[in-house]
C-alpha cells in the first residue's frame, strides 16, 4: 500500500508514468475505474480548489465520496484527531484525503490507518498534489523541454506549503529555482538563491510562480497593509513587459496584491489550466493508489 504524503513518496519514474496517465485523463470522460470504492475527505482547513478537485476526480472515476463535516463531527466533543481517524478507518474506506494546519500530521496518521492517505496540505510543510499539477503544467507548456528552465517563486515562500513541495519536486526534474520575497518571507536557510526584488530576476526566468501571503500562518504583522507589500511584489503588466514568461499561481489569488487584474487576463498566465490539470492529476493519483 502506498501513501502520498510528500512528492518524495513517488520515484521519478512513477511521476513520469503518472503524467502519461494524466494526459489520457484530460478528456474528462467519466469511467467506472473506481466503481464501488469509497473515498473519505476530511478537511480541517479551508479549501475551494483542492477539495472540489478531489471530489470531481473521484466522481469521474466512479468512486463515492464521504466528506466529513469537521464542524459537526465529534471533534468538538473532545475526541482526539487520532481517535476520529482510527474510527473512520474502522469503517474500511478505500482511501483517506486529509488537510490539516499541523505540519506532519498526515504522516503520523498514516500509522493509524490501513488505507492509503493522501496529503491535501499539512500546515506550511507540503502540498504534493499541487506541486505535481504545477510540474505537469510546466512540462505541457514547454512540450517536455524543461531541463535548465528557470523558475522564480515570488511571495510568502517561507509559510507556503506549495513552495515547500515545489522546492523539493522541481529540481528533481532539472528546473532551476530561486525565490523573490521581502526578508520577512524568505527562508532562514535556503539551498536556492533568494532575492529581494523582482527586477533582479525578471530578465533571467522562464516561469514565475506567484504565491498568496499566508496571513493565517503569521504570528506577527509584517506590513501595514497588503497594499504596501504589493507595491514591490505584485505581478503587473509593467513588471512583465513583453517577456515570454509563463505565469502560475496555486490560487486563491489576491487580486492586485499577488497579480494585477490585467495580468489575470493575459494569456501568459495559465492559472485556470493549472486548475483543469489538477483534476486529471488527482484522477491519476487516485487510480494509482486505490487498489
Cβ-based burial of 216 (10 A; exposed 0-12, middle 13-18, buried ≥19): exposed
Site string for ligand NCD, 2-41 (x = CB under 6 A): ----------------------------------------
**Do 220 and 185 meet the contact criterion of CB atoms below 8 Å apart?**
no
> Of 61-80, which residues contact ligand NCD (CB under 6 A)?
none
Q: Which residue is nearest to ligand NCD (CB)?
A: 212
Among 3, 58, 119, 130, binds ligand NCD (CB under 6 A): 130
Among 25, 96, 162, 208, binds ligand NCD (CB under 6 A): 162
Cβ-based burial of 226 (10 A; exposed 0-12, middle 13-18, buried ≥19): middle
> Of 195-224, which residues contact ligand NCD (CB under 6 A)?
212
**Which DSSP string do the residues of 99-114 spell out, in sequence order?**
EESSTTHHHHHTTT-S
Rounded to a whole number of angstroms, the minimum distance from the CB of residue 126 to ligand NCD is: 9
Rounded to a whole number of angstroms, the minimum distance from the CB of residue 242 to ligand NCD is: 29
- Considering the rule CB under 6 A, would residue 161 count as an interface residue with ligand NCD? yes
Alpha-carbon gap, residue 69 to 23, rounded angstroms: 33
3-class SS of residue 55: helix
Among 127, 158, 167, 270, binds ligand NCD (CB under 6 A): 127
CA 123 distance to own-chain centroid = 12
Among 49, 141, 172, 192, binds ligand NCD (CB under 6 A): 49
Cα 262–267–272 angle (5° rounding)?
95
Residues forming the site for ligand NCD (CB under 6 A): 49-50, 121, 127, 130, 161-162, 212, 250-251
Amino acid at each position: 500500500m502506498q501513501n502520498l504524503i510528500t512528492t518524495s513518496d513517488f520515484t521519478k519514474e512513477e511521476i513520469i508514468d503518472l503524467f502519461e496517465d494524466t494526459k489520457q485523463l484530460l478528456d474528462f470522460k467519466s469511467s467506472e475505474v473506481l466503481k464501488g470504492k469509497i473515498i473519505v475527505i476530511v478537511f480541517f482547513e479551508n479549501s475551494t480548489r483542492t477539495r472540489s478537485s478531489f471530489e470531481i476526480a473521484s466522481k469521474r472515476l466512479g468512486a463515492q465520496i464521504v466528506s466529513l463535516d469537521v464542524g459537526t463531527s465529534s471533534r468538538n466533543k473532545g475526541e482526539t484527531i487520532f481517535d476520529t481517524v482510527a474510527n473512520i478507518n474502522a469503517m474500511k474506506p478505500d482511501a483517506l484525503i486529509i488537510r490539516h494546519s499541523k505540519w506532519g500530521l498526515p504522516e503520523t496518521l498514516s500509522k493509524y490507518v490501513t488505507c492509503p492517505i493522501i496529503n491535501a496540505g499539512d500546515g506550511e510543510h507540503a502540498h504534493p498534489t499541487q506541486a505535481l499539477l504545477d510540474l505537469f503544467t510546466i512540462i505541457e507548456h514547454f512540450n517536455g523541454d524543461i531541463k535548465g528552465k528557470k523558475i522564480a517563486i515570488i511571495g510568502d515562500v517561507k509559510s507556503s506549503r506549495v513552495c515547500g513541495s515545489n522546492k523539493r519536486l522541481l529540481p528533481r526534474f532539472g528546473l532551476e529555482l530561486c525565490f523573490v520575497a521581502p526578508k520577512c518571507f524568505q527562508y532562514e536557510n535556503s539551498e536556492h538563491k533568494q532575492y529581494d526584488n523582482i527586477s533582479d530576476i525578471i530578465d533571467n526566468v522562464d516561469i514565475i510562480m506567484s504565491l498568496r501571503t499566508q496571513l493565517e500562518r503569521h504570528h506577527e504583522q509584517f506590513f501595514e497593509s497588503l497594499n504596501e507589500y504589493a507595491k514591490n511584489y505584485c505581478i503587473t503588466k509593467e513588471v512583465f513587459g513583453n517577456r515570454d514568461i509563463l505565469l502560475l499561481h496555486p490560487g486563491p489569488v489576491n487580486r492586485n496584491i499577488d497579480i494585477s487584474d490585467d495580468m489575470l487576463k493575459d494569456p501568459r498566465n495559465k492559472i485556470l489550466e493549472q486548475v483543469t490539470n489538477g483534476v486529471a492529476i488527482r484522477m491519476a493519483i487516485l487510480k494509482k493508489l486505490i487498489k
